[in-house]
């Protein structure tokens, strides 16, 4: 696959995720993916989905848990940068924590690595404080 094809695949994946179409989003993920979102060395009880995933099934559970706890309100994509088998995307998410009803808004960077048209590695970098603050508000 070339860089433009990888960007196209990533756009399809993100669009499926944005509309809550988990099966379509997972179609672009390799069976033995290395997935981490957010990239962090600390654990949070509130952001329980923040742990490494090593299979498509674990990524499916990641999304299911995320959808259970957070209602996504919007995702803005700012820019794609592709080089070789890697695509970097910058953006912003907005959402509401279901348990508190409070909203959050955060900027992020994601780095995807592709092989044979599938996502084989994913790193999602963002400051978790915005989401944690929305979980703590009562």
How far out from the chain centre does Cα 134 lie? 18
The pLDDT of residue 19 is 83
- In the chain, domain spans: 3-136
The pLDDT of residue 69 is 92
Q: What whole-number distance in Å separates Cα of residue 56 and Cα of residue 3?
A: 23
93's enclosing H/E stretch is strand 86-97
The pLDDT of residue 94 is 94
The pLDDT of residue 102 is 94
Q: Is the whole model's pTM more than 0.85, yes or no?
A: yes
Query: Are the beta carbons of 132 and 43 closer than 8 angstroms?
Result: no
Taking the chain (138 residues) in consecutive chunks of 10 residues, what is each chunk's mean pLDDT? 94 90 95 92 77 94 91 92 97 94 95 97 91 82
Q: What whole-number distance in Å separates Cα of residue 81 and Cα of residue 74?
A: 21
Q: What whole-number distance in Å separates Cα of residue 99 and Cα of residue 17?
A: 21
CATH of 3-136 given 2.60.40.10, 3.90.1150.10, 3.40.50.2020, 3.10.450.50: 3.10.450.50
Query: Which one, of 1, 41, 36, lies nearest residue 122 by Cα?
Result: 36
The pLDDT of residue 131 is 87
The pLDDT of residue 138 is 58
Three-class SS state of 54 = coil
């Amino acid at each position: 696959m070339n860089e433009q094809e990888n960007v196209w695949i990533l756009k399809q994946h993100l669009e499926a995720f944005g509309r809550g179409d988990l099966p379509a989003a997972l179609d672009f993920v390799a069976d033995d993916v290395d997935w981490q979102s957010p990239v962090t060395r600390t654990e949070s009880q509130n952001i329980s989905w923040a742990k490494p995933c090593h299979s498509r099934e674990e990524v499916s559970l990641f999304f299911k848990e995320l959808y259970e706890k957070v209602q996504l309100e919007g995702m803005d994509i700012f820019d794609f940068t592709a080089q070789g088998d890697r695509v970097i995307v910058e953006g912003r998410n907005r959402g509401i924590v279901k348990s508190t009803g409070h909203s959050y808004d955060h900027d992020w960077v994601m780095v995807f690595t592709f092989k044979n048209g599938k996502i084989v590695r994913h790193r999602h970098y963002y400051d978790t404080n915005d989401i944690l603050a929305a979980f703590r508000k009562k």
